[in-house]
Structure 1
Amino acid sequence: MGNSQSTVRILAPLSFAYDFAAQQYGMFSSPNMLDIHDKNLAAFSPQPFFIAGFFFPQQIFQLVWLYKLWKRQGNVQELEMMDKFAWVYSLGNFCIGTWMFFWNANDLKTSNFFVVVNTVAQLLYITTVLPPLDTRSTPNFLTHIVAKTFAGIGVLDFLHNTSAAYYKNVPPSQLVQIATGVGFAAAAGASDWIFGGCLVYDLVALSMGQQGGWSRLLGGYAAMAAGVVGLRNWFYPRKLQKESAYERVAGDEGQM
């Protein structure tokens, strides 16, 4: 157990540094990330500056989370939670960092392999391993933020890279348009406000990166997803809280 803790304390920051350095290479090399993006436009190409807008605050949360992981700040359960995620987090950083080199080499089919591995790993973690959210626990809350934003941007990366690699300049068919709406609606209906917010952001980024009717449809999907996330995480929980309060009152009336 001790060796595992020592390993992730080194591996996680190392993976962050690797990914960060690769991103700098991707932005300042020639051709750069944006050049490759513009050469391979597809039906799921987002507005590229939305990626940068997501990237900056996510880095801040990652650095705070890494600090707590390194300093071992938390109780036993919190530290165990961070240690488990650190393995998936490190895998994701190494995948996305390596993705950058193939993306900038315009080898999009190979780069897509690393995107798929990262996205699947992050989604599996948040749906099968991640403990429930506890906003009273800073390590728990930070782990949820980092894990779910990693998965959320991973969904956008998957759609973008796959479409650019295999369907360059191919407009979305009616089936793809319907499947996109159904898929995002279903995902939003099963998401909390963190991951759900990422899905809405993904759709807005895609809408701003497209044109015409497809852009407007994606914007409508973003509004729909926001409504679904809001209903699931705001209105419906409040209704349950009220029903629970009524049940307690009714139960108390029968007691003397």
Structure 2
Amino acid sequence: MNRSLSHGLEVLLLFDAARPAFTVLEIADRLHFSQSKTYRLVRTLVHYGLLETQNGSGRYSLGMNALRLGLLAQQKFNVAIIALPFMKELSRLTKETVLLTSVQGNKAICLERVESEEPIRYSLFTPGARLPLHAGASSKVLLAFLPETEWDTILSREGLPRFTPHTITRRNVLKAQLKEVRSLGYAFSDQEVDRDVRAVAAPILNSRGELLAGLTVAGPAYRIHKKRVQSLGRLVRHYAARIARQIEEPVDRRRRGTRVRNSFPPQKGA
């Protein structure tokens, strides 16, 4: 890692609720940096809005850009908290494992999982685990709903590694499938990451059409047969939309009624 960047991050990580402000001298003493070096680091962090001065007192606290980044990180945890009751209901309806995923860098990360109660079930993608964005419905649905201009950048950095004989490793084939995912509103994968596993996923989008997360139903290939995919796609899209509405609902209304109602009865074959 670049040494200046590393030292700048060390400065930021000093700040917490117990100690929200420091002088340059205090930072230098804590990190065993020279005062001149610490001043340069602090000045750079102020320039990027990550630190700010406290009314000319000589003390520095976290700036608005640090707050913005913190809120973005917090949003992912909020999404998982809000989504969990819907995920449990969807798992009961489908009798399959339900996943909540999000984009982290150039990867898909699992934020939450509700396992099927069936004795044979999907249980491999655990919370905190990461996967490339090109393989599996839970990943592809995220990539599909990112701006198309980002596809090549992500795929160039990460490549298209093969996990099974079913993994898509040709960029033109993947792009065509991503466009189809956008058109359908859901993604389907057939044993692309793990043998004998199929999955259906839909995006969770805000009111501006921006990607928040992905919602996935995954299970053994013999249960998620191809005749079931379309009805599962509709069901997962419905629950993704319900989660999105709940996320954007004012907090006071959300507190008054957090119980999830089953407004979408299970369809035959779903």
Is the shorter-chain TM-score for this pair beyond 0.5, marking a shared fold? no
Q: Which has the higher contact order (CA 8 A, sep 6+)?
A: 1
More strand by percentage: 2
More helix by percentage: 1
Calculate the TM-score normalised by the size of structure 2.
0.29
Structure number with greater Rg is 2
Calculate the TM-score normalised by the size of structure 1.
0.30
